[in-house]
Amino acid sequence: MASNGNFCTWTPLLGIKNDGDSGITLSNGNTTATQTHNGIATTGTLGVSSGKWYWEIYYSASADFNDGHLLAGWQSLKKNVEYAYTKQQPGGGLGAPDRFTWGSHLMNYRGGGTGAFGGGYLSSINNVNGTYSGAFNLGLRVGSASTLQYALDLDDYKMYFGVNNTWYDLAAGANTTSDTDITQVTGWSIESTWQGYQWIPACWFSGAGSGTVATINAGQDSTFSGRLTAGGNADDNGFGDFRYAPPSGFLALSSSNLPISEDIDPAQTDDDYPSKQFGVVTYTGNSTTGQTISGLNFKPDLLWAKSRASQLHFLCDSTRGLTKFVRSNDTNVESTLANVYTAFNDDGFVLGTSGSGPNDNGTNYVAWAWKANGGTATATIIESGNNPGAVVQANTKSKFSIITYTGTGGAGTIAHGLGAAPSFMLIKNREQTDSWAVYHDGNTDAPETNYLKLDTTAATADDATYWNDTAPTSSLLTIGTNHSVNADGETYVAYVWADLEGMQKFGSYEGNGDTNGPFVYLGFKPRLLAIKSIDSTQNWIVVDTARETFNPLGEKTLAWNDTGGDTDTAALNLDVASQGFKLRGNDAKINASETYIYMAWSDVPFKYNNTF
């Protein structure tokens, strides 16, 4: 048994039927999945978006292999993607079109029956509970207990598949030699629309038979819990114990191998890891004498405070100054309040004696805080044509910017300073009662064409005047002519974030309206999580692990667009896990049959999580 960090296993958060009973029995430390229900799926506990990766499955069935089927492979955490495939299907059947458009996920292997190319499926899993559609005669079949091999190259965007150390080119319908030089295999190309998204191991059981077994080995045990003789093969980093030698350069799916930005990696830096970039604190107001709030472990540049009873939200940042406030729950202009905050310090902030806002005497509060650049501008931009003049305070390590700018009235661009394309942007007109404009890259399949409003429950809407139908790039964000983002001569503030592995993630998921809701993979345990339906009029629901310290969360929800306090609604419940979150409620605010966006900031990156 290997011991090189946490290896990928099957997650117990999936494979559950709608009646709440398990459809997959997990054993051997969640490495063995046994079918107990027809048409049920589960995934691994670890996802990747870059690098080269290898894992194995031992596949067997207690009944005839024609009765107990397994679909297994890599699942893309992106919906409505395309896969390029132009060859005739091996093994007969109809010719494949040039492109397939799938649902949420992609499965790339099927066992059952006999003959290397007698059938098999490339199938689309539409939701994580196991419903699938689209079956194409495009894969391998296995008629006896076998070791299945999977390799994914996210540097060259290719997938490879093997059985008992014979690698196959499914596109050409031929196998290669039995060594591990898979460079001979053409593989399946991943379309550019998939690139940059996370991939995760997955399996799906079908057929009338029961007792079909899929035991995963991501490097932890080449005997597959005593089923086979030990292989003793490690990856190039010396991690793992595989049945067969991993192809050169391909690594075990282990937390020890997980990529993480050096800028926030605790092993690389003493000062900039996630908990020194973002944090949450709770406190009780004391306007009688004022007080110092500590425990953030960094000097904040954006403070977003909310009473846990009924009160306004207060957003203050180090660019605009300690006396300037905007509120996420309304359209009001920027206000000036003296003696609320008197300082941002190296471990938190100092509250004055003002009773107006985030320090009312005896009132309980939560504050969400982000670090930018200590109040110092990283760039000052001079207006040029329709491009606004701006002051940028960017944190390139945590991919967060505070930007103040003066509108021009004409569609233009602003250099945001992140070095990565923004995923989430909040913009407020400081001088007029305009709604907050929200950009989110999970807001429809063309997010640059749509917008949301932070201060309302409104669903997404299409309007080219917000982002000029232009997606942000790694250097520039684009604003259109809408008054909410770019009126001539009026001043604005923008808060801008980009995805950062192990630190923050902004994405979308499909709800199912069931208390056995979707599991959403993040690659970290969320400290702060916000959710919004883009299809209907729902609140911006917010939970955090400072106000709620154990699962399920949802008993103390707030809403970014609302003044209400902590609210307990059972149907809003969800669990946070070491690598994401699982919906446990079917309230329409988080889990109807709709599309939802989420905003998540980390507590502990999975690479350094101590769970197994």
What does the pLDDT average to over 480-495? 98
CA–CA dist 467, 449 (Å, integer)? 7
417-468 pLDDT per residue, tens = 999 999 999 999 999 999 999 999 999 989 999 999 999 999 999 999 999 9
What kind and span of H or E run contains 22?
Answer: none
The full set of domain ranges for the chain reads 24-257, 278-370, 379-497, 504-608
Residue 603 contacts residue 545 (beta carbons within 8 Å): yes
The residue assigned the tokens 């009646």 is 19
In whole angstroms, what is the distance from residue 368 CA to residue 426 CA? 15
Tell me how far apart the alpha carbons of residues 403 and 390 are, in angstroms, rounded to a whole number: 7
Mean pLDDT of 167-190: 49
- Average pLDDT (468-473) is 98
**Separation of alpha carbons 144 and 62, rounded Å:** 10
Residue 252 CA to residue 269 CA, distance in Å, equals 25
pLDDT at 253: 92
- Confidence at residue 535, expressed as pLDDT on a 0 to 100 scale: 97
Residue 24 to residues 199, 216, 354, 484, Cα–Cα distance (Å): 22, 14, 57, 50
Local structure of 430: helix, strand or coil: coil
* Predicted local distance difference test score (pLDDT) of residue 117: 31
Instruction: Give the whole-number percent of the chain exceeding pLDDT 90.
Output: 55
Give the pLDDT of residue 4.
58
β-sheet with 302-307: strand ranges across: 278-284, 364-370, 302-307, 313-317
Higher pLDDT, 458 or 24: 458
**Mean per-residue pLDDT over the chain, rounded:** 81
Asked whether this chain's domains 24-257 and 379-497 adopt the same fold, the reply is no
**Comparing 108 with 522, which gets the higher pLDDT?**
522
Query: Are residues 290 and 350 in contact, defined by beta-carbon separation less than 8 angstroms?
Result: yes
Torsion sign (Cα): 252, 258, 262, 268 = negative
Q: Would you state the pLDDT for residue 316?
A: 98
Angle at 11 (CA atoms; ends 576, 129), nearest 5 degrees: 90
Contacts of 446 (CB under 8 A, 6+ apart): none
Residue 486 predicted with pLDDT over 70: yes
pLDDT of residue 510: 84
Strand partners, 150: 55, 161
pLDDT tens across 289-315, in order? 999 999 998 999 999 999 999 999 999
Q: How far apart are CA 124 and CA 104, in angstroms?
A: 7
Q: Of 218, 68, 205, which is closest to residue 148 (Cα–Cα)?
A: 218
For residue 146, list its beta bridge partners: 59
Q: Give residue 462's pLDDT.
A: 98
Which long-range CB contacts under 8 A does 113-121 form with residues at least 24 apart?
113/65, 113/66, 113/141, 113/143, 114/65, 114/141, 114/143, 115/91, 115/141, 115/143, 116/140, 116/141, 116/163, 116/168, 116/175, 117/90, 117/91, 117/141, 117/173, 118/91, 119/91, 120/91, 121/71
Distance CA 604, CA 526 (A): 8
pLDDT of residue 272: 59
Distance CA 342, CA 359 (A): 12
pLDDT of residue 269: 55
For the chain, report the end-to-end CA distance as a whole number of angstroms.
14
Average pLDDT, integer, range 488-505:
94
If one compares 47 and 93, the residue with the highest pLDDT of the two is: 47
Query: Which one has a higher pLDDT value, 144 or 205?
Result: 205
**Whole-number pLDDT of residue 209:** 57
User: What pLDDT, in 10s, does the model give residues 95-133?
Assistant: 332 223 333 334 444 444 433 332 333 333 333 333 333
- Please write the tens of the pLDDT for every residue from 365-400: 999 999 999 999 999 999 999 999 999 999 998 999
Higher pLDDT, 527 or 267: 527
Most confident of 185-194, 486-495, 498-507, 571-580: 486-495
- DSSP class of residue 439 equals E
Q: How confident is the model at residue 561 (pLDDT cuts 50, 70, 90)?
A: very high
| Domain range 379-497, its CATH number among 2.60.40, 3.30.450, 3.40.50, 2.40.160 | 2.60.40
Q: CA-CA distance, 601 to 275, in Å (whole number)?
A: 10
Question: Picking from 161-170, 380-389, 467-476, which range would have the lowest pLDDT averaged per residue?
Answer: 161-170
Predicted pLDDT at 143: 59
Q: Is 557 strand, coil or helix?
A: strand
The gap from C-alpha 367 to its chain's centroid, in whole angstroms, comes to 23
CA-to-CA distance for 248 and 459, rounded, in angstroms?
Answer: 48
Please say if the pLDDT value at position 342 is more than 80. yes
H-run or E-run covering 495: strand 491-497
Instruction: Give how far the C-alpha of residue 23 lies from the chain's centroid of Cα atoms, to the nearest Å.
Output: 26
Distance CA 456, CA 190 (A): 39
**Beta strands at 52-60 and 251-252: parallel, antiparallel or unpaired:** parallel
CATH 2.60.120.920 fits 24-257, yes or no: yes
Strand ranges for 48-198 from DSSP E: 52-60, 69-76, 82-84, 99-101, 105-107, 110-111, 121-125, 132-137, 146-153, 158-163, 166-169, 174-175, 188-189
* H helical segments located in 232-389: none
Window from 56-60, 255-259, 314-318, 471-475 with minimum mean pLDDT? 255-259
Query: In the block, which residue shows the tokens 């507590």?
Result: 603
d(CA 78, CA 95): 26
- What is the structure's pLDDT at 2? 45
